[in-house]
Structure 1
Amino acid sequence: MKFLYDLFPLLLFFAAFKFYDIYVATAVAIAASFVQVGLFWIKHRRFETMHVVTLAVIAVFGGMTLLLHDDTFIKWKPTLVYWILSTILLASQWFGSKTAIERMMSSQIALPSTVWKRLNLSWGIFFAVLGAVNIYVAFYYALDLDEETRRNIWVNFKVFGLLGITLVFVFAQAFFMAKHIQDKPGPGETPPNRTTD
């Protein structure tokens, strides 16, 4: 259910694009992102980093798309979100006592510290690469085609391509984690050695 909740601004963007155009879709995505963050706050009394980063970027770049009637800005949105997340993850690799991935997931799963660092690094690199791939598809792929066709290709790639690539990566990471999961200690028990692999 949370997976669908996280995706509903993207799904509404796609539906609005198919029925109307990129500008209506952008407005719908901005509104849906505000609703998403607001509902999450009402239910949990906290914000989720991914929701806030996405809202901030789409509010600014989506707003510029609508104001200037130029879809260049909304095409940059996925790249900026991915690169912001990549920067957060990679910075936590060297600063702080725990990586960002460990801070998010260590309450549910126990892994050696070296594994947390590998996971964190792989996600940081993955997001950096996704951002670059989005730029390629949005601005450099199939330049021989007309603008409307290229816009359709980008929207389909944004919704299905980026999501599909991410799901494959998630499954690969889950398989990797499964090989290293440690039993979480009970009350009063000594935690497992976190310095071993």
Structure 2
Amino acid sequence: MKFLFDLFPIALFFGVFRWGEGHQDGAHALVQQYLGALIAGGTATPAQSPIILATVVGIIATCLQIGYLLLAHKKVHGMLWVSAAVIVVMGGATIYLHDENFIKWKPTILYWAFAAILLFYLVVMNKNLMKSVMGEAMKLPEAIWRRVAWAWIAFLAALGALNLLMAFVVFKGDTSAWVNFKVFGATGIFFVFIVAMGVMLSKYMQDDEQHDEQQGQA
């Protein structure tokens, strides 16, 4: 359920963008009627309308996520606050300047921001945020927790660079192809990485369980 909740803004962004591509005149009419005041010059072209409309919906969906958690008296994790700040700033620039390049930078800024936060806490504060987040769910040796943190830092840095490569080199000028990569490619890479990490860590978790059993028998 949490996985679907986290994907809510991305799914809406993708759905609205795809609808806008297939109904460009309708998307343009909506942008002109409801978003003109938010756009520099008060107008955007029909070709720019799908990404503008999708970006607005993505911003609203992210804000609704935070609003729901606050009303339900649930914790809003720092990652969601950072994500909201980035999409509001970069999405806002996309809408105002009707330039999709800003929203294309959003995933990279987000990945690099998370990597920088993990790195800062690990190196400067001597605190492993991955252990803080996952420590209650699994027991691992301290050295392995450091490997986990470094693996996430490297992964997020690489994924941020990959997004720029896909957005501005491989799919340069093709926003539709980049959206497909963002929704399916990046999400798939995340899933594969998490599964690989789980497989790698399962060995240490099993060793820890066997150690506990031996301690209990003794």
Q: CA deviation at 1:142?
A: 4.4
Larger radius of gyration: 2
| Counterpart secondary structure, 2:204 | coil
CA pair 134-60 structure 1, distance change in 2 beyond 3 A: same
Q: What is the match of residue 173 of structure 1?
A: 197
Confirm or deny that 1:160 pairs with 2:184.
Answer: yes
Deviation at 1:98, TM superposition (A): 3.0
**Among candidates 87, 102, 109, match of residue 131 of structure 2:** 102
3-state SS in 1 of match to 2:198: helix
Distance (whole Å) between structure 2 residues aligned to residue 142 and residue 88 of structure 1 = 29
Rounded to whole Å, the distance in 2 between the matches of 1:67 and 1:161 is 28
* Structure 1 residues 154 and 38: alpha-carbon distance in aligned structure 2, compared to 1, 3 A threshold: same
Q: Deviation at 1:39? A: 1.2
CA distance in 2, matches of 1:77, 1:97: 28
Cα deviation, residue 95, structure 1: 3.0
Cross-structure match for 1:2? 2
Whether 1:60 and 2:84 are equivalent positions in the alignment is: no
Q: Secondary structure at the match of 1:45?
A: coil
* Cα displacement (A) at 1:44: 4.2
- Seq. identity, %: 41
Q: CA RMSD in A?
A: 1.6
Runs of 5+ in structure 1 lacking a partner? 191-197
**What is the SS of the residue equivalent to 1:140?**
helix
> Which residue pairs with 1:19 in the alignment?
19
Distance across 2 between alignment mates of 1:95 and 1:107: 23
SS of equivalent to 1:137: helix
Asked if residue 129 in structure 1 is aligned to residue 152 in structure 2, the reply is no
Query: What is the match of residue 77 of structure 1?
Result: 106
What is the rounded CA distance, in whole Å, between the counterparts of 1:46 and 1:123 in structure 2? 23
Task: Tell me the residue number matched to 1:194.
Answer: none
Larger fraction in helix: 2
Quick one: distance in 2 between partners of 1:45 and 1:119?
A: 27
- The Cα offsets for residues 137-186 of structure 1, whole Å up to 9 and x where unpaired, read as 1111145xxx3xx1111000000000000100000000111111234xx9
TM-score by structure 2 length? 0.79
Q: How far did residue 42 of structure 1 move? A: 2.5
Shift of the alpha carbon at 1:92?
2.3
TM-score, with structure 1 as normaliser: 0.87
Q: 1:139 to 1:48 in 2, by over 3 A?
A: same
- Structure 2: distance between partners of 1:175 and 1:69: 44
Give aligned pairs, total.
Answer: 180
Q: Secondary structure at the match of 1:178?
A: helix
Q: 1 CA distance for matches of 2:134 and 2:80?
A: 17
CA distance in 2, matches of 1:142, 1:130: 16
Residues 1:32 and 2:58 aligned together: no
Q: Aligned with 1:50: secondary structure?
A: helix
